Structure formats: C-alpha cells, structure tokens
C-alpha cells in the first residue's frame, strides 16, 4: 500500500513541474541562508560561511537533481521528454513525416480493409444458426453446371437420412403484386418447403409452408419478408392466412420472416415451387441445400450423398439417361465463397505486398534520415547523452511514426471498406455485415509500428560505429560512407522495385483479361443493338406468348429508325435456359443441360451471327409444324466432329417422374449450323446451344428478350414501350438498354477485381517512386562533396547526371529481374483469374517492366538535377 | 533496513576524517522519523543539525541527501510538510510526523533493536563458543 501510494505520488510528480521546482529552490535557499547565518554566528567571514554551507549541502544542483529523480518517475519523465522531442523532430521535417505516415497508413489501411473483407466473406460464418451444418449439393463432372434437376432433387430428398432438412431453390423472379387497384413489382425467391428450416430461420409471425404447397396443382404459399410486410401491408398481423395476388395467381400468406433475412440476393417474398408442373423442371436449375442432423458429421453426409448419386444413375436405364457424375457436398459457406476465393487470395497477396513496400519505404526514409542526422547524434553524444538514451529516442520516434500511420490508416480503412462493400458485385448473405475487423487492424498496426521501430533501431545501430571526432570535424554533416547503410538502402530499393513490379504485373494481367472480352469473339455484333426484356405472367400459355411476340415484333419493326428486330428466350450474357438434349439414336451423345433458345426468324441476321452451314430459319418454319433446329458450332463439333450434322436429328429430352422419355417431342431436324455465341458468362467458352423457331419452342424462361437493331436511339425507348403495350397493355418492360451496356455489366466482377488490383498497382508504383526518390536524394546529398570535386576537375553536368541515373537504373534493373523471376513463381495463383491471358504474357511483362523502369528513372530525375546543379565552389568550401 | 540504499543518494563524503561514518538511506529515514518524533515540526536544516548533534558529531551527513529522503517519506505518507516561518522570521518548509509515521517509527525502531541485538550476540564471546 505504501509503495503504491508512493508511486501514485511520484506519478503526480510528473506534472506541475515548475511549481515544484520553485518550491525546492525556495527550500534550498532557506536551508542555505539558515546555515550561513549559523556559520556567521560562529565568526566566519560571509564568503567562508557561504562556502562551508554549500560544501556541507553537497552542491545545490546535485541535490536538486537527486530530489527530482525521487520526485517523479525518471523513466517516464525521459519517455515524455523523448516523445516531445520526437514530435518536434517530426514537425521540423514535415515532408518526411507526411510521406512516412501516409505510406504506413496506406499499407495498414489497405490491409485492414482487405483482411476484413476476407474475414467477412470467407471466415465468418453465414448469418444463420449453426451455419456449419448447412451444405450445398452439386454434381461433379456431370456438366458445366453443378445444379440439380427437380427430379434429381426429389430423388435425393426422399432417400436421404442424414439431413434434418433438404430444400431446393430456383433463383429469383420479378412478379406483379396486385392489391385492389394498385400494382407493384416485387422480387420473389422460388423455394421448396424446408428452405427456411434448412437455413434455421423461424418466422416472426405465422408459420412456414409444408410440402402440400409444392405438389402440382396445389395452392401456392408465400412467405413475406419483414420489409415487404411493413411497406405493402402496413405490418398487418391479420395478413397471415389471407390471399394475395401475384401475376394473377393467388398465394396464401403463411408467415412473415424476421427482419434482416437475406439469402444470396434481395427478395421481397418467397413463394412455394410447384415441383414437376412445368417444363422448366427438367433443366439443371435447382440449387439444393440441406442441413445435417446434429449428430451427423460432414463426411458421413458426404458419403451418403455420393451413394445416392450413384444410385440415381443406376436406376435410370442406359437408354433413358446417359452420363455419370458424383453428387458432392460443400459447406454452403464455402460454396458461396468459392467464386471469390481466388480473388480474395489474390487481393490478400496484393495488399500484403503493398504493406511490404510501405515498410521498405519507411525503412529507406528512416535510414536516409539517420544518415542526415549523424551530426546531431554526434553532438548529443559529445554533450554526454548515453547510448541507451539515444536508443530510447530513436525507438520513440519510430513508435510515434508507426502509431500515426496506424491512426491515419484506420480512418482510411473505414472509408475504403465502405466503398468496397458498396461496390462489391457479389451475391452473398454476409456482404451487408462486413465490418472493420479490430483484430486485423491490431495485427497490421503492429506490423507497421514494428517495421518503423525496427528501422528506427537499425538507424540507431548506425550511430554505434560513429567516430565522434571525425563526424564533428566533418562540416558536411554526414560521414563519407557507411557501407552497411549504403548496401541496406540499395537492397531496399531493389526489393521495392521487385515487389511493385509484381503488383503492377498482376494488375496488368487482370486489366488485359478485362480488356479481352471486348476483343473476344462475342459471336455477335453488339453495336447498334438495343435489348429489352419482358417477363411474362406465369399464366401466359406458350401459344399466347408467340402471338404476343409476333404482333409486337411487327409493330417494333415499323418504328422509324429500326432496321431489324428479333426475339430470343434469353439474349447472350443475359441468363441461361437449358434442357436435356440427345443426338437422336446416339444415347452416348447427350447433355443434361443444353442451352435452348426459341427465336424469331431474323434473330441471326439481327445479331450478326453468321450461318456456317445449311440455313437459318425461314418464314415457313414459323407456319409449319415440321420440327426443325439450328445448332451452334460447339454442339456440331462435340457430337458430329468432322461429319455433317445437317439432316441428322436431335431430341430435346424431358423428365416424367424420374424417367427420361425417349421422345417427349418429335425429334428436331437440323437445318443449319451457326457460329458460337457467348452464353451467360463472357469469360467462359460458348456452351452447346440449340435454336428452335419460337412457334415450336417451349417458353421455359417465362420471358422474352427483344433485340432491336437501330441507328436512331433517340425516342426509341418510348416507341418500343408503346409497341409492346399496344399489344399487351399490362405487359411489364424491364432492362431497356443498349447491348453494349449489358456487356459492361457482365464484366462488373472482373472490373471490380481489376479496379482493385489496378489501384494497388498504382499505389505500389507511387510508393516506389517515393522510395527510390528518397534514397537517391539522400545519396546525392551524401556525395555532394565528391560531385563538387568531380565538377571542379572537369566533369560535365551530363556526366554528373549520368552518375545518378546509372545508379538508379542499375538498382531498378536488378529489381525488375528479381520481380519477374518471382512473378513466374506466382503464375499459378493468377492463372484461374485470367481469361485467355497467359499468366506469363510476354507483352504485359515487357510493358510492366518498362513502366517500372520508367518510374525509377522518373524518381531519379530530381536528385540527378540536384546533383547536376551542385556548385563546386560551395561544395568544396564546406571542407 | 527497509529500503536499499541507492548509489546516487548515498554520497561518499570524501576528504573528511575517516572516523566519521556515512549515513545509509534506510538509517537516515529512521533518524529523521525519530528526530521529528522527539522535536515536533522541524525544517530540513534543523533536522540535519539535530541528527548531527544527536550522533555526537560522529556522523558525517551530507545535508543534500536529506531532501530526497524527506521527499520519499512524504510520498509514503509518514511525514507531512508545510511552509512556515523560522525563529529568524525566515520562510522555511516544516516537516512533521503523521500518525502513520509514528507507527512506522515504532516498527522500525523495534526491527532495528532486534537486528542490533542479533548482531551483538554474534559478536559477543559467548556467541562464538556455540
């Protein structure tokens, strides 16, 4: 207790220093005076009295000093002093401070933001209870798509024993909600029973719907989100059990979801899927998720899924169903994040490298500064400063730089993360919840602070070799050469150049991947094409659809400025729609999900898709019922190889129950082969595709895409809308946009990645610029004397400039060489992010190498000019 | 000894005659407490003089070492200080014992006597025999 009391009192002694000093001085003074008076009384002379009193006291200053040490906490006192001094030093060179702090802040901020992103997407669990028990079912090796068909889903659901719940999800769709006279468009998610049970979500009101709502012909059920319930139904609790109208179809509201519920995308409500009631159920269109029973391990569930998958293939006879696949489980979290894993890893590496560059930069700045401060250090040593005191001082400066960097970095990270999250083009349940991660911030801050302290230390150890005499005598303020520092600085420059080369290279490769789609054979000409999308009510029959389309097409074609107009079930890059298909009589040639496109007769000419063999559809195909098809190049190559597919036939398959029907539709005669066109994704090869005349087609997508080739877009939108509503007054029109815009949208994700990488690359270059500039400037200052002599001895300005530039070039070239070597090593990480660009693309490598070298040259320009302008008289006079 | 003597506050009084003993920090604290207990409130100079007189001028006390010792005792709460006027009408800082200081004095005096008794027994001829 006493000790604590004394410590507190000593801590208090750190403050109010002046008052206490005055007190002590007064006390000493009165002590001396009393002693002197006594001495005088004993008969000493005034001078002797004073002298004796001072001797007896042992020196006023010594007493004060030991008193002060007792009064406060000496180490804390020193620390405060160091901090004050450090701030003064940093304020005195604002350029250095700003660059060092910003550099660190950049590294720390970017790392914190990206780590938080990775944490939110990959590490933190999904926002559902016991989310590690939620799994995703997918086919491996069956087709390009892992999704299941509805019959497959039912097959597994009815047999699986390891799952507490299993459910199917068929994406989202826009539907029209009618309430009395008012109509509003809402987004619905289509799910089977068990969907919310699988996610572990309980309704806040009412109940979830059961299987009775998913049988063909049954009533439809709807579960509303909290927000729709509040906005459209005024949070009326009596809504439960009532009927609502969506697309002229009645749905019974069974429950309200808790607020904040989200699956992969925004939805206003979820409706019950009727399984097996329409053609769409035959495609691979169902995401199947399940929740493990509490006592079941993931591997047990995995084993059961594999078994069921094999059983499914065994049950379908060879003729009815071909191909094979393995039913595979993923944790839902991993499945949802899998698309972004590589991106995130790449971003992580990128920011990691950026932090390295930042640290290298601060290091080179500190080292260079340590050189410039040698004189100051020598003076302080000569005045009696101890080495440990100097060490403390350097440490404090490093610490303050690091902390300032971390603080600015935190502010930056908050802002950057906000931008990131709003710009992320990813569909994930957890995206809205991504927040700044405290642990990450702590970690990166420690790295940054650690780096600045470490290099503060390094610069301190430089001073150990300091020879006081020579430094003080050397009027130039810096010692001639510290070899270790010179080589350390060179190593830092080389490392920085190498790392920024790698970052810029990564950015360059991604940018080229991004650029490629524009060069990529889309398979059609997007110029002068306008896209329009019309979703149908589910009540619309196939025949009605074609009637509506034909009439509207005629009106659109009559619009002035419209050269041509066509329809297709799904335009390229706008989605997918697939059905099982088989080459007639060749069960070995079947595809579970062949892209299927009902089109109007002039679709190919409107799109500019060349017909390679045979013919396009003709008007006669739209009036006769002779079933015909046009296939794309990929399908022709896959099934016919070098043979001629014309005249051969294909079958569009159909499930009934769990069996393939051999001929659900009459086989289609192939009348033509057209060039490949992209499917849903720009960065994937064109899928196998079958085109049929819209009259004969099955409206599996429930909507039509309109493609209008036109030269006069002004006023076009209104005219198009009028053409549609003239035919069908209630028809909804969405996505009216130029085709080129759709292309940009489909590169949004690579865009985002390239944007980030581009930013990191640019930052790396800027940091390198600063780093190289700092080191070279320092070296020029260091060599001022030598340069002066050279000039005095007749070196031309050009020679001097070359001296600096050659040094910069040498370092940069070494750095570039190392960076290129390392980039080759990292090629594999990049490969999966690139499309049609080799990770060792020679053009990009060359371009980036030149760019980095140019940056190094640029960085050396100012120091070189400074060297060139050295006045020999001034430089030598310093001697 | 309740406190280790630190190098800095234990100034050697070189040049003095060798028959005078240096005062160690802990001992000094005890002397200060005892002096204040018997004399009442006293200023630093007075304490120094009193200690020297009590020791029969056998102690060589460097007056400067007194002040850190006083500060330490004050920080520990054993003594309290106040500015006042000396007999010569001079402004001086007066120290006086607190209640905690009085207890501490009793404790330390007892400990000191014990230590002294033990050491004395070791040094006495009887102690050597056993």
Average pLDDT, chain B: 78
Please report whether residue B7 resides in a domain.
Answer: no
The minimal CB distance from A30 to the residues B62, B75, B92 is found for B92
pLDDT of residue A464 exceeding 70, the answer is no
Task: Name the pLDDT band for B11 (thresholds 50, 70, 90).
Answer: very low
pLDDT of residue A382 exceeding 90, the answer is no
Please report whether residue B108 resides in a domain.
Answer: yes
Please report whether residue A122 resides in a domain.
Answer: no
Higher pLDDT pick, A780 / A656: A780
**A680 burial type by CB count under 10 A (0-12 exposed, 13-18 middle, 19+ buried):** middle
pLDDT of residue A277 exceeding 60, the answer is no
Residues A734 and A773 in one domain: no
Please report whether residue A112 resides in a domain.
Answer: no
Residues A420 and A446 in one domain: yes
Q: Mention every residue, 6+ apart, whose C-beta is less than 8 A from residue A510.
A: A750, A753, A754, A757, A758, A833, A834
- B72: distance to nearest CA of chain A, Å? 7
Task: Name the pLDDT band for A303 (thresholds 50, 70, 90).
Answer: very high
Percent of chain A with pLDDT over 90: 16
CA atoms within 13 A on the CB side of A699: 22
Domain boundaries, position A13: 2-72
pLDDT of residue A58 exceeding 90, the answer is no
pLDDT of residue A280: 47
Domain boundaries, position B70: 21-129
CB of A175 closer than 8 Å to CB of A702:
no
For an interface test with B, the pick among A31, A50, A74 (most B C-beta atoms closer than 10 Å) comes out as A31
Task: Name the pLDDT band for A148 (thresholds 50, 70, 90).
Answer: confident
pLDDT of residue A402 exceeding 50, the answer is yes
Instruction: Give the tens place of pLDDT for each residue, B29-79.
Output: 899 999 999 888 899 899 988 888 888 877 777 888 888 888 888 888 899
Query: What span, in angstroms and rounded, lies between the C-alpha atoms of A625 and A768?
Result: 70
Residues A809 and A734 in one domain: no
Higher pLDDT pick, A676 / A342: A676
CB atoms within 10 A of CB A14: 14
Query: What span, in angstroms and rounded, lies between the C-alpha atoms of A98 and A548?
Result: 67
pLDDT of residue A476 exceeding 90, the answer is no
pLDDT of residue B12 exceeding 50, the answer is no
pLDDT of residue A750: 67
CB atoms within 10 A of CB A365: 27
> Residue B53's domain is classified under what CATH number?
1.10.10.10
Please report whether residue B1 resides in a domain.
Answer: no
pLDDT of residue A263 exceeding 70, the answer is yes
Residues A440 and A293 in one domain: no
The minimal CB distance from B64 to the residues A5, A38, A57 is found for A57
CB atoms within 10 A of CB A197: 15
- A6: distance to nearest CA of chain B, Å? 5
pLDDT of residue A864: 85
Contact criterion met (CB < 8 Å) for B68 and A66: yes
pLDDT of residue A23: 85
Residues A714 and A631 in one domain: yes
**Total of domains in chain A:** 4
Residues A815 and A694 in one domain: no
Please report whether residue A873 resides in a domain.
Answer: yes
**Total of domains in chain B:** 1
The alpha carbon dihedral of A773, A779, A784, A790 has a sign of negative
Output the CA angle A560-A562-A568, nearest 5 degrees: 145
Q: Is residue B91 less than 8 Å (CB to CB) from chain A? A: yes
What are the chain A neighbours of B11 within 8 Å (beta carbons)? Answer: 58, 62
Task: Name the pLDDT band for A474 (thresholds 50, 70, 90).
Answer: low
Please report whether residue A105 resides in a domain.
Answer: no
Please report whether residue A859 resides in a domain.
Answer: yes
The minimal CB distance from B75 to the residues A6, A31, A57 is found for A6
What are the chain B neighbours of A26 within 8 Å (beta carbons)? Answer: 91, 93
Please report whether residue B41 resides in a domain.
Answer: yes
Q: Tell me which chain A residue has its CA closest to the CA of residue B87.
A: A34
Query: What span, in angstroms and rounded, lies between the C-alpha atoms of A743 and A749?
Result: 12
Please report whether residue A504 resides in a domain.
Answer: yes
Domain boundary residue, one of A40, A72, A104: A72
CA atoms within 13 A on the CB side of A335: 21
Least reliable range by pLDDT among A213-217, A246-250, A403-407, A508-512: A508-512
Rounded to an integer, the average pLDDT of B10-20 is 43
Instruction: Give the tens place of pLDDT for each residue, A161-219.
Output: 999 999 999 888 878 888 887 888 888 999 999 999 999 999 998 888 888 888 877 88
Among A2-11, A198-207, A210-219, A494-503, the range with the most confident prediction by mean pLDDT is: A198-207
Instruction: Give the tens place of pLDDT for each residue, A351-379.
Output: 888 888 888 888 777 777 776 677 777 78
Task: Name the pLDDT band for A673 (thresholds 50, 70, 90).
Answer: very high
Least reliable range by pLDDT among A468-482, A845-859, B75-89: A468-482
Nearest Cα residue to A167 out of A179, A181, A180, A156: A156
Please report whether residue A23 resides in a domain.
Answer: yes
Using CB atoms and an 8 Å cut-off, which of residues 47-86 of chain A contact chain B? Answer: 56-60, 62-63, 66-67, 69-71
The minimal CB distance from B77 to the residues A5, A10, A59 is found for A5
Residues A709 and A565 in one domain: yes
Residues A476 and A574 in one domain: no
Residues A506 and A637 in one domain: no
Please report whether residue B15 resides in a domain.
Answer: no
Residues A689 and A796 in one domain: no
Residues A711 and A621 in one domain: yes
Task: Name the pLDDT band for A65 (thresholds 50, 70, 90).
Answer: confident
Task: Name the pLDDT band for A515 (thresholds 50, 70, 90).
Answer: low
pLDDT of residue B7: 39
Contact criterion met (CB < 8 Å) for A59 and B64: yes
Please report whether residue A134 resides in a domain.
Answer: no
CB of A556 closer than 8 Å to CB of A605:
no
Using CB atoms and an 8 Å cut-off, which of residues 3-42 of chain A contact chain B? Answer: 5-6, 9-10, 23-24, 26-28, 30-31, 33-35, 37-38
pLDDT of residue B95 exceeding 90, the answer is yes
CB atoms within 10 A of CB A361: 29
pLDDT of residue B13 exceeding 50, the answer is no
pLDDT of residue A497 exceeding 70, the answer is yes
Please report whether residue B4 resides in a domain.
Answer: no
pLDDT of residue A777 exceeding 50, the answer is yes
Task: Name the pLDDT band for B99 (thresholds 50, 70, 90).
Answer: very high
Residues A319 and A352 in one domain: no
The alpha carbon dihedral of A836, A840, A842, A845 has a sign of positive
Instruction: Give the tens place of pLDDT for each residue, A558-605.
Output: 998 899 999 998 898 888 787 778 888 776 777 767 888 999 989 999
pLDDT of residue A304 exceeding 80, the answer is yes
């Amino acid at each position: 207790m006493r000790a604590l009391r004394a410590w507190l009192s000593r801590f208090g002694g750190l403050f109010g220093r002046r008052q206490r000093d005055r007190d002590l001085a007064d006390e000493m003074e009165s002590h001396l005076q009393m002693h002197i008076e006594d001495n005088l009384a004993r008969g000493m002379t005034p001078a002797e009295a004073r002298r004796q009193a001072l001797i007896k006291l042992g020196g006023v200053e010594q007493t004060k000093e030991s008193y002060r040490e007792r009064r406060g906490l000496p180490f804390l006192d020193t620390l405060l002093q160091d901090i004050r001094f450090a701030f003064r030093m940093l304020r005195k060179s604002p350029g250095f401070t700003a660059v060092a702090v910003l550099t660190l802040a950049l590294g720390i901020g970017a790392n914190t933001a990206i780590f938080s992103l990775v944490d939110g997407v990959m590490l933190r669990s999904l926002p559902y209870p016991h989310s590690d028990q939620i799994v995703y079912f997918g086919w491996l090796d069956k087709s390009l798509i892992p999704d299941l068909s509805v019959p497959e889903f039912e097959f597994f659901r009815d047999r699986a024993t390891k799952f507490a719940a299993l459910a199917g999800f068929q994406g989202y769709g826009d539907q029209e909600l009618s309430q009395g006279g008012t109509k509003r468009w809402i987004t619905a998610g289509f799910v089977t029973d068990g969907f919310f049970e699988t996610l572990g979500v309980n309704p806040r009101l009412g109940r979830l719907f059961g299987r009775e709502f998913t049988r063909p012909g049954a009533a439809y059920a709807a579960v509303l989100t909290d927000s729709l319930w509040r906005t459209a139904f005024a949070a009326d609790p009596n809504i439960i059990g009532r009927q609502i109208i969506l697309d002229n179809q009645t749905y019974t509201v069974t429950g309200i979801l808790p607020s904040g519920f989200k699956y992969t995308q925004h939805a206003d409500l979820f409706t019950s899927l009727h399984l097996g009631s329409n053609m769409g159920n035959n495609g691979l269109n169902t995401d199947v998720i399940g929740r493990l029973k509490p006592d079941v391990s993931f591997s047990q569930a995995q084993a059961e899924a594999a078994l069921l998958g094999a059983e499914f293939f065994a049950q379908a006879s060879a003729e009815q169903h071909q191909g094979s696949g393995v039913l595979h489980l993923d944790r839902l979290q991993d499945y949802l994040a899998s698309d972004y894993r590589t991106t995130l890893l790449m971003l992580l590496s990128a920011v990691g490298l950026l932090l390295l560059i930042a640290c290298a930069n601060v290091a080179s700045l500190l080292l260079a500064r340590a050189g410039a401060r040698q004189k100051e250090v020598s003076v302080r040593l000569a005045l009696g400063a101890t080495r440990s005191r100097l060490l403390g001082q350097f440490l404090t400066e490093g610490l303050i730089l690091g902390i300032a960097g971390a603080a600015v970095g935190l502010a930056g990270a908050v802002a950057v993360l906000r931008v990131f999250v709003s710009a992320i083009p990813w569909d994930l349940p957890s995206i809205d919840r991504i927040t700044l991660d405290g642990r990450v911030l702590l970690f990166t801050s420690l790295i940054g602070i650690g780096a600045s302290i470490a290099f503060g230390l390094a610069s301190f150890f430089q001073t150990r070799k300091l020879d006081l005499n020579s430094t003080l005598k050397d009027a130039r303020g810096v010692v001639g050469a510290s070899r270790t520092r010179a080589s350390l600085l060179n190593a830092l420059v080389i490392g920085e150049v190498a790392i920024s080369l790698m970052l810029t290279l990564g950015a360059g490769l991604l940018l080229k991947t991004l650029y490629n789609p524009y060069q990529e054979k889309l398979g059609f000409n997007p110029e002068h094409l306008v896209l329009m999308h019309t979703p149908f009510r589910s009540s619309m029959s196939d025949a009605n659809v074609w009637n509506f389309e034909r009439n509207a097409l005629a009106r659109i074609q009559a619009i002035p400025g419209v050269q041509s107009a066509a329809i297709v079930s799904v335009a390229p890059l706008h989605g997918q729609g697939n059905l099982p298909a088989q080459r007639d009589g060749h069960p070995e040639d079947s595809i579970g999900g062949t892209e299927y496109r009902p089109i109007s007769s002039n679709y190919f000419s409107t799109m500019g898709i060349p017909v390679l063999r045979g013919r396009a559809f003709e008007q006669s195909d739209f009036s006769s019922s002779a079933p015909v098809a046009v296939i794309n190049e990929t399908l022709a190559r896959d099934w016919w190889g070098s043979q001629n597919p014309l005249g051969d036939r294909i079958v569009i398959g159909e499930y009934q129950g769990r069996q393939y029907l051999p001929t659900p539709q009459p086989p289609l005669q192939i009348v033509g082969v057209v060039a490949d066109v992209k499917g849903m994704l720009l960065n994937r090869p064109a899928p196998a595709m079958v085109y049929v005349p819209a009259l004969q087609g099955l409206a599996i997508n429930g909507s039509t895409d309109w493609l209008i080739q036109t030269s006069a877009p002004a006023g076009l939108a209104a005219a198009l809308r009028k053409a549609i509503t003239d035919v069908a007054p209630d028809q909804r029109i969405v996505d009216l946009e130029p085709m080129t815009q759709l292309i940009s949208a489909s590169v949004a994700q690579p865009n985002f990645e390239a944007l980030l990488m581009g930013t990191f690359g640019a930052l790396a270059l800027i940091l390198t610029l600063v780093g190289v500039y700092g080191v070279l400037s320092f070296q020029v200052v260091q060599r001022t004397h030598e340069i002066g002599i050279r000039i005095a001895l007749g070196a031309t300005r050009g020679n001097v400039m070359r001296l600096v530039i050659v040094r910069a070039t040498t370092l940069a070239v070494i750095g570039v060489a190392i960076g290129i070597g390392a980039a080759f090593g990292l090629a594999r990480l990049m490969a999966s992010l690139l499309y049609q660009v080799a990770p060792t693309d020679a053009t990009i490598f060359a371009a980036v190498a030149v760019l980095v070298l140019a940056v190094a040259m640029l960085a050396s320009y100012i120091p070189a000019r400074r060297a060139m302008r050295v006045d020999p008289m001034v430089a030598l006079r310093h001697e | 000894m309740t406190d280790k003597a630190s190098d800095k506050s234990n100034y050697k009084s070189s040049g003095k005659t060798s028959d005078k003993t240096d005062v160690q920090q802990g001992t000094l604290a005890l002397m200060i407490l005892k002096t204040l207990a018997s004399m009442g409130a006293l200023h630093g100079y007075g304490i120094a003089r009193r200690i020297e007189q009590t020791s029969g001028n056998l102690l060589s006390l460097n007056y400067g070492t007194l002040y850190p010792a006083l500060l330490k005792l004050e920080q520990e709460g054993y003594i309290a200080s106040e500015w006042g006027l000396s007999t010569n009408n001079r402004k001086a800082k007066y120290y006086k014992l607190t209640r905690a200081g009085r207890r501490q004095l009793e404790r330390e005096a007892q400990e000191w006597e014990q230590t002294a008794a033990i050491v004395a027994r070791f040094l006495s001829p009887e102690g050597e025999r056993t």
